Amino acid sequence: MRQAIKAGPGSHDYPYWVRAETSVLLPEPAGSLAPLLRPSLLRMARALAGELPRLERLAAKRWRDQGFKPAERRALAQVSSAAAAAMLAAGGPLADYFEQVDYHGRRLAKLEVAPGLVAAEMAWIGRQMDQRLRRLVPGEASRLQAARRQLDLAALLVLHQAYYRVRESEAQAFHELFCAELQARSHGELIARCLDTVARWSRADAAALYLRLAEGSGWLPAGCWPGAERSSAVLLPGESLRRLGRPRQIAIGRRGEELVLDARWRRAFATCWSVPLREGRKLAGVLQLGFRKPYEWLPRELRVLRVAADRILAASAKARLAEDLEARERQIRALASQMVHVEEAERQRISQELHDEAGQSLLCLRLRLEMLEEQAGGQETLRRGLAEARRLVERSIEEIRRLVADLSPAVLEHLGLKAALRRLASRFEKTYGIRVCADLRMERDIPRRLQRVLYRLVQECLTNAGKHSRAGRLNLSLHSDDKRVRLCVEDDGVGFRTPEALAGSRGFGLRGIKDRVELLGGRLELRSAPGRGTTVIIELPAPDAGAGGCEVSRPHPRQQTGER
């Protein structure tokens, strides 16, 4: 096992590493070494040239005994000051050493070697080099040791930058996944953005996401990168399902390449990374990345991929639920629109029946009663009875005319919504004695079906205000634009407590208005309080002028304005 870092001889050489875990972008350190130090570093390298192979073997044994893996040992060997001395002794430039430190520093970060461990091992190698310098060049040891410490400090700065860039790229990838989850407008767009993010972060040449079918061993492509061309559904035997249930690096051309779900990848790529997507213990999908060259993942990369896969699966499930919900809402709105259409058609049918059958029969009865009344002559009692019956029939005719006008207002069909609402407001003023101020501004045409809905909503709001508000004034406004239609009915009446009114309302009252508006995808806002009047605000989405604009049956030729 790796040893814990303890303070000891030489640890004071690296005061900088106290801040190693902070994310501070530091300046490029390669040029920070004073030119005067370079001759000293070259002298140090030449003095230690014969000792370097032995020192490398000693370090390799130490790291093996401490439990460092081969890849970790190789990376540690490339970032130490011994590696710099070997490069300088061979005539290489110091800049190449810092590039080497940067590359292997990123590998150490992805191998999940703690930066403190790297610092401790660099300090240990530094002490070994100092001991040999004191023995080989005692007169120059102090100067060369100081140069070596400056070299190590610059290397630690480069290492810090390497660790920082690795963490920064991971944070950026997760930020992009989070933004995709928030901003994507569809499940397909979400998967495309997530695959793009993961592929760029891992430097893959292709990425694909597969979701497992509910039944059997099939896999359905949910998205791919680059481009939008997806492979067809894939069927695999049950054993392959078990093998895909854990992360795998698949070398194409060798055993196991059948686990690469897109057959085209087996001809185009050399390596495939496969990461399972799980819902609890259930295998729900798999994320696969393709590389044109052999490419082995490092522990940190696998950890990030697993977390990213979980994030993508959760976002995918949420997006699919949102799409399903939106589809169901569209179905409900379509059904509500159809119900409104059916309701209007039924209103027209009833009004037509009342006009053609009951209305005409009552008119005939009225004429007959008038004739009998004239024929009664001097029979005063009979004349009074017939006159009373005639007046009762006349009141019934007027009531039928009112019902016909309410059920299917001909003015709405022939003159449009504005004229119908003004006629409705005028009749309301006469019936309830409440003054109405109407502001009707429509910047675009409203489909016929929506006109009928708005008429009914205004009709119900006015009826409620007339029966319950005891108001003296009522403001009616209707505005429309390309996005919405806004209806506002405001009175100065007695008001009420909104929660109780909504809870106790039945039929086509406030609760009925609320339900109808919500079914049509709109919004109802109700403002009221005892003694402060009532404001009803209704907003409905404005469809295209031609949408839902199909006509219901026209009024009967004899049914024009509800009059004889």
Collapsing DSSP to helix, strand or coil, 35 comes out as: coil
d(CA 195, CA 173) in angstroms, rounded, equals 11
d(CA 291, CA 276) in angstroms, rounded, equals 18
Report the CATH number at residue 528: 3.30.565.10
DSSP output for 466-515: HHHT--SEEEEEEEE-SSEEEEEEEE-S----HHHHHHH--TTSHHHHHH
d(CA 41, CA 143) in angstroms, rounded, equals 10
pTM confidence score: 0.61
Looking at the fold, whether 128 and 201 belong to one and the same domain comes out as no
Q: At what angle do helices 94-110 and 141-183 cross, to 10 degrees?
A: 50
DSSP state of 21: T
Looking at the fold, whether 59 and 207 belong to one and the same domain comes out as no
d(CA 159, CA 182) in angstroms, rounded, equals 35
Question: Considering the domain boundaries, does residue 281 fall inside one?
Answer: yes
Residue that is last in its domain, among 297, 331, 354: 297
pLDDT per residue as tens, the chain (564 positions): 444 333 333 333 333 333 333 333 334 444 555 566 788 889 999 999 999 999 999 999 999 999 999 999 999 999 999 999 999 998 888 888 999 999 999 999 999 999 999 999 999 999 999 999 999 999 999 999 999 999 999 999 999 999 999 999 999 999 999 998 888 888 888 888 899 999 999 999 999 988 887 665 677 888 888 875 655 666 665 667 778 888 999 999 888 888 888 888 888 899 999 999 888 888 888 899 999 999 888 999 999 999 998 888 888 888 878 777 877 777 776 776 677 667 666 766 776 666 667 767 777 877 877 787 777 776 777 877 877 887 887 788 777 776 766 666 666 767 788 888 888 888 888 888 999 998 888 767 777 778 888 888 888 888 888 888 888 999 999 988 878 899 999 999 898 887 777 766 543 477 778 877 877 778 888 888 888 889 999 998 876 544 443 333 333 333 333 332
Looking at the fold, whether 500 and 530 belong to one and the same domain comes out as yes
E strand or H helix at 150: helix 141-183
Looking at the fold, whether 166 and 69 belong to one and the same domain comes out as yes
Domain tally for the chain? 3
Question: Considering the domain boundaries, does residue 70 fall inside one?
Answer: yes
Question: Considering the domain boundaries, does residue 90 fall inside one?
Answer: yes
Looking at the fold, whether 195 and 119 belong to one and the same domain comes out as no
Distances (CA, A) of 410 to 26, 462, 551, 563, 564: 80, 19, 14, 11, 13
Q: Provide φ and ψ at 329, rounded to 5°.
A: -65, -40
Question: Considering the domain boundaries, does residue 387 fall inside one?
Answer: no
Question: Considering the domain boundaries, does residue 156 fall inside one?
Answer: yes
pLDDT of residue 36: 65
Looking at the fold, whether 159 and 257 belong to one and the same domain comes out as no
pLDDT of residue 381: 79
Looking at the fold, whether 16 and 131 belong to one and the same domain comes out as yes
Residue that is last in its domain, among 119, 144, 172: 172
Looking at the fold, whether 161 and 250 belong to one and the same domain comes out as no
Instruction: Residue 214: give the domain boundaries.
Output: 187-297
Buried residues in 13-30 as b, exposed as e (16+ CB within 10 A): bbeebeebeeeeeeeebb
Nearest of 282, 313, 322 to residue 209 by alpha carbon: 313
Looking at the fold, whether 124 and 223 belong to one and the same domain comes out as no
Residue that is last in its domain, among 297, 332, 359: 297
Looking at the fold, whether 145 and 194 belong to one and the same domain comes out as no
Looking at the fold, whether 29 and 162 belong to one and the same domain comes out as yes
pLDDT of residue 27: 42
Do 487 and 520 form a contact (C-beta atoms < 8 A)? no
DSSP output for 237-301: -HHHHHHHTS-EEEETTSTTGGG-SSTTHHHH-SEEEEEEEEETTEEEEEEEEEESS-----HHH
CA within 13 Å, CB half, 353: 6
Question: Considering the domain boundaries, does residue 318 fall inside one?
Answer: no
Question: Considering the domain boundaries, does residue 310 fall inside one?
Answer: no
Long-range contacts of 74-79, Cβ-Cβ distance < 8 Å, separation of 24 or more? 74/104, 75/104, 75/107, 75/108, 75/111, 75/113, 76/108, 76/113, 76/118, 76/121, 78/103, 78/104, 79/104, 79/105, 79/108, 79/118, 79/122, 79/155, 79/159
Looking at the fold, whether 231 and 154 belong to one and the same domain comes out as no
Report the CATH number at residue 199: 3.30.450.40
